[in-house]
Structure 1
Amino acid sequence: MEVLIARPHELAGLAADAVEDLLRTRPDAVLGLATGSSPLRVYDELADRYRSGRVSFARACAFTLDEYVGLPAEHPERYRNVIHREIGSRVDFAPGAVQSLDGNAPDPVAACRDYEAAIAGAGGVDLQILGIGSDGHVAFNEPGSSLASRTRVKTLTRQTREDNARFFGGDAGAVPRHCLTQGMATIMAARHMVLLATGAGKAEAVRQLVEGPVSALWPSTLLQMHPHVTVLVDDEAAARLSLADYFREASAAKSAVPAG
């Protein structure tokens, strides 16, 4: 696990660098797209790079992480609409290249099973963008989630609904109680994960993610077992890390290594 501590706008650039580098070497790469506040600057950066001709998504495809159950198709906070608004419509993905879970599927269990099959059929995710909840959830894998879980229906915790109330006019009661989400094992199958976290409210979650024991109480800690995870955090989110100074030194030492 590589931990990089920088200013928020720099973090977005680092994440966008990873996507750009991947698409330059593999234009038909499979991306994993997250919603929430953390990736928004990344999507802004990628849209800017697309407009300037630095990167193209024309041959790539993507899968979203999760979706609320029961929101009307036109609801602005339906994650399919959020991803289209924030990145899908701003770059040159081909029609149908971005696939999302259907929170209004008549058979949600079958929809989850089909989604797993679609990811596998695409060859798996090459690079997964992630955020992290204040309680350590990744996607909608809430505390107590099986670390071997696959895409499924979940019930959201009160904490998650309160955290997400800001997207629903501050009303936690308007946040759906159920969701469809990729499972932890599904996420762990991605070949590279880039997780972003900013702000003091994420500091304990980041501490657990990086330095805590692997536990279903903090589902994100499973990422410690993955061979290629990049954790991008600002100073506030890194404030509780015992090894924060080491991570800064390691990053500086790495950048000082001569090329060649």
Structure 2
Amino acid sequence: MKFICAKDYQEMSRKAASVIAAQVVLKPDSILGLATGSSPIGIYEQLVVWHRQGDLDFSQCSSFNLDEYRGLTADHDQSYHYFMHQHLFDAINIPAERIDLPDGAQMDAAAECARYDAAIAAAGGVDLQLLGMGLNGHIGFNEPDEVFSKGTHCVDLTTSTIEANKRFFASADDVPRQAYTMGVQTIMQARKILIIISGENKADIVREAFFGPITPQVPASILQLHPDVTVVADEAAFSKCRDLI
């Protein structure tokens, strides 16, 4: 693992965006695995700036997203389809036909998960996967469990995840109870992984995930086994493992 410490969220976002930008410049037809939530917004803002300045061209890129709420249509303002178009896709030149996310409106979970895994495989796999990490060590919607998940699957969201996401909805009652998510195995098959973490409230799980035992009770801990992982975090998130990095 490579650890990059940033002063704050803004610097973390710039440093992480630089990793993605380098990937696109060196391999213009990169397959990008993208994430949603509050953590990557600063990254996407920086990528848009560089694109508008003429420094980044996404015209040959393809993308797959980590997850999507089951039961939300693509035009729902809290769907991850909507989020990605709002924060990135509508502002860059990535072709629409090369954008793929799980289809939250598809209620046949087995069929949609199989379609998504087949699409990733047909594209040749993900070159660079962007991740965030939850307070319990979840990546995507892969929550603590008895085993590591494999392919794309439908998950029941935990109470803590619903609580964390309720700020995006009118109330906790409006948060969907299920989501489609790439499995841990799918994530681990990406050729490179970039994980971003910000805030003192993540300091305990950063130490546990990256310097503790590898266990499905802390899903992100499996990243210790990946050959090419870059962790970009701010000083607050790294505050409890400065002796280890």
Please state which band the TM-score falls in when normalised by the shorter chain.
Answer: over 0.9
How many equivalent residue pairs?
244
Stretches of structure 2 that go unaligned for 5 or more consecutive residues are: none
Are the counterparts in 2 of residues 194 and 232 from structure 1 also a CA contact under 8 Å? Answer: yes
Provide Cα deviations, 1:119-149, integer angstroms capped at 9, x if missing partner: 0111110011110011110000011063242
- Whether 2:115 is the aligned partner of 1:86: answer no
The within-5 A match list for 1:93-242 is 93-144=94-145, 146-169=147-170, 171-241=171-241
Range with bigger deviation, 66-75 or 190-199: 66-75
Secondary structure, in 3 states, of the residue corresponding to 1:135? coil
Q: Which residue of 2 aligns with 1:252?
A: none
Q: Distance in 1 between matches of 2:72 and 2:61?
A: 28
Larger Rg: 1
Q: Which residue of 2 aligns with 1:22?
A: 23
Q: Distance in 2 between matches of 1:240 and 1:136?
A: 15
- Whether 2:5 is the aligned partner of 1:5: answer yes
Q: Distance in 2 between matches of 1:235 and 1:106?
A: 42
Deviation at 1:74, TM superposition (A): 2.4
* TM-score scaled by length of structure 2: 0.96
Identical-residue share of aligned pairs (%)? 39
Deviation at 1:226, TM superposition (A): 0.2
Deviation at 1:2, TM superposition (A): 1.0
Q: 1:22 to 1:145 in 2, by over 3 A?
A: farther
Q: Which residue of 2 aligns with 1:67?
A: 68
Provide Cα deviations, 1:133-172, integer angstroms capped at 9, x if missing partner: 1111000001106324210010000000001111114x22
Q: Distance in 1 between matches of 2:147 and 2:122?
A: 24
Range with bigger deviation, 145-154 or 177-186: 145-154
* TM-score scaled by length of structure 1: 0.91
- AA paired with 1:177? R
Range with bigger deviation, 178-187 or 9-18: 9-18
Are the counterparts in 2 of residues 146 and 184 from structure 1 also a CA contact under 8 Å? Answer: no
The within-5 A match list for 1:21-60 is 21-60=22-61
State the 4+ residue runs in structure 1 displaced beyond 3 angstroms: none
- AA paired with 2:11? E
